[in-house]
Chain A
Amino acid sequence: MIELRGVRHRYDGRLVLNLDHFAVPAGALLAVVGHNGAGKSTLLRLLALLEAPTEGHVLWDGAPVSHRPPIALRRRVTLVEQRPILLRGTVLENIRFGLRARGVAETEAYKRTAEVAEQLGLLSLLERRRHELSDGEVQRVAVARALAVRPDVLLLDEPTSSADRAASGALYRALAQAQAMRPFAVCIASHQLEDAYRWADDIRALAEGRLSPVTPENLFRVELPAGTGETKHARVGTIDIAVTTDRTGPVVLAVPPTDIFVSLGALPSSARNVLAGRVTRIAAHRSSGGGGVAVTADVGVELVAVVTAEAARELALAPDVPVVFSFKASAVRVF
């Protein structure tokens, strides 16, 4: 549906996004994860057609989008910012803003407003103004007003950053309900991998404005020491990660979850990284194509390993079970 090709985006000459290709297919459930400053918000603003890339092209259904996209095209995609702002007026007026802009008839506008307000638990807040709402409520109103305009692509930047667990659950349920009624693509930028795994079909990682070549878990920004040896040790939290590279200085390390061996005790092996800890979470790994289980363990830092459901059962993996994560120094990607 919407794609970026050869995009290099700069602010004041500084390259903040460098993507050869990024696409949000129709009906996709896509999560973009990465550190703060990785370029997620910029990516969403380009996809929302709010900014034109400094270099490269935005395509919609294969056709290039001009620097001044026509309003009919802009109305097919809606962005909810990380810290959304409510416009002057009541919650009701905010939800109806996009409908008014489109000239939606009064009865239809009333129906849609009631629908999204109910889905997001906003019925009791409709007459309130922005200064009478909490950050979490503002975020829900922002999602509601975006859902009300029924976009083909909904872009959400950290939509649960101000929400508690219950509100976060309500938001994802509302999205699921809306998608059940009418298919549309959703692209969420998040740093919460758990949400991304539970919810998205496809997860992509951004680091330093580029798509990470591996799945997004286990990304660490580190400083690699100078030296000529082929194996270096990078300090990550309270642990050292051995990595085979000739790079030095600031880099991002990625440990592919499928390259981590999970065992209940230390095994003699060639792995240079052997880290003991306890399981903190077990979740289905949707983006691994079904059947995968994401095992998160605290081994000094949080690491995620992906194993088969069968292996998880045999090892009786569950929260608080002691485990050992092992991986080779050469398995660690550096970029």
Chain B
Amino acid sequence: MDFLAEGFRRALALLLSGDAEVFGIALLTLKIAVVATTVACGIGLPLGYFLATRRFWGRRAALTAVNTALAFPTVVVGLILYGLLSRHGPLGGLGWLYTWQAIVVGDVLLALPIAAALSAAAVQGVDPRVRRTAQTLGAGRWLTAWTVAREARFALAAVITAAFGQVVAEIGAAMMLGGNIRGSTRTLTTAVALYTSQGDFGLAVALGLFLIVIAIAVNVTLQMLQGKGGD
């Protein structure tokens, strides 16, 4: 247990001293998480609304596909993208392999099903009279969607939190696509794995604490935003 106590002491020292490497890794992780969550939710929330409100041929199959994708292993996503982004792959020309952009692409693919499936469930949970009322009062497509989203705001905030949680805690795709390159693609999760394997528990615990602080900060912010929205 000594190593844990030592780890916490080291973590505190690193955090208080403003260690450049630790803060650099944390900032990169935050950047990747924010960009990936924004892109995943920017596509996933409208997709979820569409799946929840439109009746079309193949809708059930589409919902099943999205729900199945929730359980897609992160290393498989990493593997497929690795193949696509590698020098000889169809997207090799982008030169994204072992860059933070590649990690973002992987994270988007992993968070997208969460955003789509959970937002579809959230919208389906809204009283159908809300949508009908907006429509019969003359709302267009966007105002109707916005009105329904306002009613489902708590559930949708939880969707964004879940997507962010997936992205910030992801390691498989980040390791395979980013390569865990120091100062370039090293994220909190890949760094924790690396320093743990190297026996540097203090640094690993410090980075782990950063992850927890980020998760708490995001949740508190979302809860505060929800609290401001009355009935």
Contacts and interface: CB of A to CB of B under 8 A. Distances in A.
Interface stretch (B77-85, B125-133, B170-178): B125-133
A71 B144 CA distance: 12
A79 interface: yes
A74 B138 CA distance: 7
A88 B230 CA distance: 8
Contacts of B127: 85
A97 B231 contact: no
Contacts of A97: 134, 137, 139, 147
Interface in A135-181: 145-146, 149
A75 B138 contact: yes
Given A97-B134, A130-B231, A85 B129 contact: yes
Interface string A51-81: 0000000000000000000010011011101
B42 interface: no
Interface in B197-211: none
A48 interface: yes
Interface residues of A, number: 25
Q: What 4 A-B pairs come out closest when comparing CB atoms?
A: A98-B137, A75-B138, A85-B129, A101-B138
A131 interface: yes
B143 interface: yes
B135 interface: yes
Interface of A: 45, 48, 50, 71, 74-75, 77-79, 81, 83-85, 87-88, 97-98, 101-102, 129-131, 145-146, 149
Contact of B135 (A50, A88, A145, A146): A50
Given A88-B150, A129-B230, A149 B130 contact: no
The residue in A75, A83, A101 that gathers the most chain B C-beta atoms within 10 A of its C-beta is A101
B18 interface: no
Contact of A50 (B130, B132, B147, B231): B132
Given A88-B150, A130-B231, A149 B138 contact: yes
Contacts of A129: 230-231
Contacts of B140: 71, 101
Given A85-B127, A129-B230, A149-B138, A101 B143 contact: yes
Nearest to A142: B133
